[in-house]
Structure 1
Amino acid sequence: MSDVIITVRGEHETRRPPEQGVVRVSVRTEGPERGAVVERLSALSQPIRDDLTSRKDAGDLAEWSSQRVSIWSNRPWASDGRQLALVHHAAVEFTATFEDFAALSWWVSEISARDGVQIDHVAWQLTPASARETEAATAAQAVQVAVDRATAYAKALGLTTVEAREVADLGLLTRAEAAPAPEMRMMAMRASADAGGGAPAVDLQPEEIVVTAGVEARFAAR
C-alpha cells in the first residue's frame, strides 16, 4: 500500500505577563534665538539624565539611552498668509527600561509634569532571554499540534504509522497567506489627564504579551 500524504497546520499561543516596561520620553523647546533654545534644552534635559543615571546605579533601572540633540528651524505662517519670523526648535529623546512597574508609573507621572517633557510611548516586553525561550517553546508546541492533528487524520483513515516529511513556517509549504511564526504582540500604555489640573495621571495597564507560532507540515502515513 502506498503512503498517504497528510498536510496539516499546527498553531499555538502563549500568554505571559510583561517583564519590562520601555518608556520613550522627548524633551522639546523652541524660540526665536538658536543659542537660547539649545541652552534651554540642556537645562531641561540634564536633570532627566542625572535622574536616570542615579536610578541605573541604584539598580532601579535596567538600562537607558539618549539620542543626540536635534536642532531645526522654520518660518511659520500667520492666518493672513504672512510668513512670520524664524523659529528655532530643539529636541532630545530618552528611552528607559524599567523592570519595576510601580517605579515606572511613579517616574512617568512625575516627569510628565515637567516643562517641555512629553511621554511619547510606553511598551511592554519580555526580557531578551525570556522572549527567546518563549518563542522556542511556542514553536515547539505548534509542531506538536501538527503531529497530533496528522496522527488523528491517519487514525481516522485506519492507518497506524505517521512519519514527518516536511515542516516549515506558515506559507512556506502552501501558498496560503499567513504571517511567519513565532510572532509577539505587545500592548502599549493608556494615559489620561488629571481633571483636577495637577500633574497628569498616567494609567499604566500592562496586558499580557501574546506569543503565537504556526507551522505547516507534511506527513507520510501508512
Structure 2
Amino acid sequence: MSETIISVAASADTHHSPERATVQLTLGFEGPERQPVFEKTRQLHAEMSESLRALHDPIADAVTRWSADQVSVWGQRPWSQDGAQLPPVYHATTTVRARFRDFQALARWIDSVAFSEGVTVTSVDWALTSATQSALQADAQKTAIVTARSKAQSYAEALGLSTLRPIAVADPGMLGDDTASGSTVSVARFASHDMAKSSAGGPLDLTPADVVISASIEARFAATA
C-alpha cells in the first residue's frame, strides 16, 4: 500500500505571570578631577550594595541574588562649539544588578534609590524560575505536537486518506526542510512592564506583562487510505 508523506510545522505559546524580576542600576558621576569623581561613585556603590545586602537571602528574603562587580573610570577632553579643546572631564560608573522574588519589595527599593544623585535605573527584566520555565516549555512542546498532528490530519482528509502514522518530530530545521525557521524548541520572551507612580503618590506601581514561552516543532507523517 502506497503512503503519502505529509510534513508540517507547528508552534504553541503558553503564558505565566513573572516570578522573578532583575533590576539593573548604573551608578556614576563626572567632574573635573578624577579622584573626587571616583570617591563619590565608590561611596554610592557601597550604599547601594549595603541596601541590597540587607534584603538578600537565597531562601527567605526579597532578593535571591545580586552583584555589583563592574566599574569603569575614564577621562576625556571635550571640544567647544568653536573647536577649542576644553579641560578634561572625568567619569566613573559602576553597575549593580539584583534579582527580586518580592515585587513589592522591589518597588519600595526602587522608590528609595531612583531619585538619588548619580543613580540611573537602567532596566527591569521579568522572568520565571527555572522549574516553572521547564514545565511550561514541556507543555508548549506537547501542544505544538498536538497541533501538528491536527494539521496533518486535515491534509490527509483533504486527500481522501484516513490513516495517519507519525514518522518523525523534531526541532525546526532538523528534518532537512529549508522552509522552516524559528527557535529551537522554545524561547522565553520577556514582555514590557509599566513603571509609574500611583496617583496617590505611593510606592512605584510595577505591573509586568506575562512571560510568554514558545515552542516550535516540525513533524512528518505517513498517510494511507
Matched-pair contact (CA < 8 Å) for 2:191–2:212? no
The answer on 1:11 being equivalent to 2:3 is no
Could you list the per-position Cα deviations for residues 96-121 of structure 1 after superposition, in whole angstroms to 9, with x for gaps in the alignment? 11111111111112210111000000
- Following TM superposition, by how much is the alpha carbon of 1:220 offset from its aligned partner in structure 2, in angstroms? 0.8
TM-score of the aligned structures, taking structure 2 as reference length: 0.88
Q: Provide the secondary structure at the position in 2 that maps to 1:67.
A: strand
Paired with 2:124 and 2:205, the residues of 1 have a C-alpha distance of 11
Paired with 1:11 and 1:2, the residues of 2 have a C-alpha distance of 29
Code of the residue aligned with 2:107 in structure 1: it is S
| Equivalent residue number for residue 65 of structure 1 | 67
Paired with 1:147 and 1:188, the residues of 2 have a C-alpha distance of 33
Code of the residue aligned with 1:46 in structure 2: it is A
Identity, % of aligned pairs?
Answer: 36
Matched-pair contact (CA < 8 Å) for 1:189–1:203? no
Matched-pair contact (CA < 8 Å) for 2:33–2:89? yes
Moved more, 90-99 or 33-42: 33-42
Code of the residue aligned with 1:161 in structure 2: it is T
Q: Which blocks of at least 5 consecutive residues in structure 2 are unaligned?
A: none
- Following TM superposition, by how much is the alpha carbon of 1:194 offset from its aligned partner in structure 2, in angstroms? 9.6
Q: Provide the secondary structure at the position in 1 that maps to 2:206.
A: coil
Q: Which blocks of at least 5 consecutive residues in structure 1 are unaligned?
A: none
- Following TM superposition, by how much is the alpha carbon of 1:210 offset from its aligned partner in structure 2, in angstroms? 1.1
> How many residues align structurally?
219
Paired with 1:205 and 1:75, the residues of 2 have a C-alpha distance of 43
Matched-pair contact (CA < 8 Å) for 1:22–1:97? yes
| Equivalent residue number for residue 189 of structure 2 | 185
More strand by share: 2
| Equivalent residue number for residue 97 of structure 2 | 95
The answer on 1:175 being equivalent to 2:178 is yes
Could you list the per-position Cα deviations for residues 123-147 of structure 1 after superposition, in whole angstroms to 9, with x for gaps in the alignment? 1111122112211221122112112
The answer on 1:29 being equivalent to 2:32 is no
Code of the residue aligned with 1:218 in structure 2: it is R
RMSD: 2.3
Q: Provide the secondary structure at the position in 1 that maps to 2:63.
A: coil
TM-score of the aligned structures, taking structure 1 as reference length: 0.89
Per the alignment, do residues 9 and 194 of structure 1 end up closer, same or farther by CA in structure 2, a change over 3 Å counting? closer
**Which ranges of 4 or more aligned residues in structure 1 deviate by more than 6 Å?**
none
Code of the residue aligned with 1:56 in structure 2: it is H
Per the alignment, do residues 151 and 177 of structure 1 end up closer, same or farther by CA in structure 2, a change over 3 Å counting? closer
Matched-pair contact (CA < 8 Å) for 2:166–2:222? yes
